[in-house]
Every structure is written in structure tokens, then in C-alpha cells.
Amino acid sequence: MEKSLTAKVCELITPVVEALGYQLWGCELKGLGKHTLLRVYIDSETGVSLDDCAKVSNQISGVLDVEDLIMGRYDLEVSSPGIDRPLFKTEHYRRFIGYTVRIKLYAAQNGQRNFTGEIKDVTEDEVTIVVDDRMVVFPIRNIEKAKVVPKI
């Protein structure tokens, strides 16, 4: 249910974000109920400032209030994806082939839910990473969270 609501919210706010000149990188909806948090990540070729986040926040909060998709009170955070950016879509994984990522799965694979490795290949349905010199393939639908590990 939560994933479906997150997709609906992203779909609703995408045109608003794009009309302001930004790309909607992704959305996270956490803690449905008493302490609901909607985190929206925006990006642009020139980067994202605090003023950009405030402008987007003002616009999408108005749309969300009118559409009333999120039941009850919620907090809205708008930010840049940052250097440890979360990966939401297949094209995000493709863009970061060759980078190290941290992946957390919904369901354990070989008794493990958390993996760190370099992205080697991406298809429409799967991501392949190298973990300790072995290839591990994950169905994208089983990835709960994925983030790029910053290069230092």
C-alpha cells in the first residue's frame, strides 16, 4: 500500500517540479500515520540550492493539500539527492554503472538483506553488482533502498 501511495504522490507532483525547471529524482514516504514524512528529491543540471528547495516545497505543498492523497498531518522535505544519492528508477542504476552502491532488500537473498558492491550491469528488471569478487543479481522489485557510496 505504501509503495502505491508513494507512486501516486510522485506522479502527481512530477509536472509541478518539471514546470519549475527541475527534475523529480524520487520520493520517499515514511511512517504512514502519526509521523508521516514525505521526502522529495529534486535535481537540475546546475545543482539545487536551498532557495530552489523552498520554491518547489511551496508549490507541491499546495498541490498535495488540494489533492489530499496523504491522510492526516505530514511533514514535507524537499532536497537535493546529494553525493550519496538514493536510486529509485532503472535509469538511475544505469547512470551509476561502475559506482559502488549500498543496497537493502525487502526479502533476504542467500540469508542476507544488505549488500555493498559496484554496479556492473542493469536490465529492465535486474541489477548486477560485484560483492567480494562475485556477481550478485537482484530483482529491482526486491530492492527496498539503494544509495550511491560517495567517492572520497
Q: Per residue in 56-90, pLDDT tens?
A: 999 999 999 898 888 888 899 999 999 999 999 99
What does pLDDT average to over the chain? 92
- Global confidence as pTM: 0.86
Strand arrangement of the beta sheet that strand 36-43 belongs to: 23-30, 36-43, 74-79
On the question of pLDDT at 98 being above 80, the answer is yes
Q: Give the chain's domains with CATH numbers.
A: 2-79 (3.30.300.70), 90-148 (2.30.30.100)
On the question of pLDDT at 32 being above 90, the answer is no
CA distances from 2 to 31, 108, 127 (A): 9, 20, 23
pLDDT digits (tens, 9 = 90+) for 104-121: 999 999 899 999 999 999
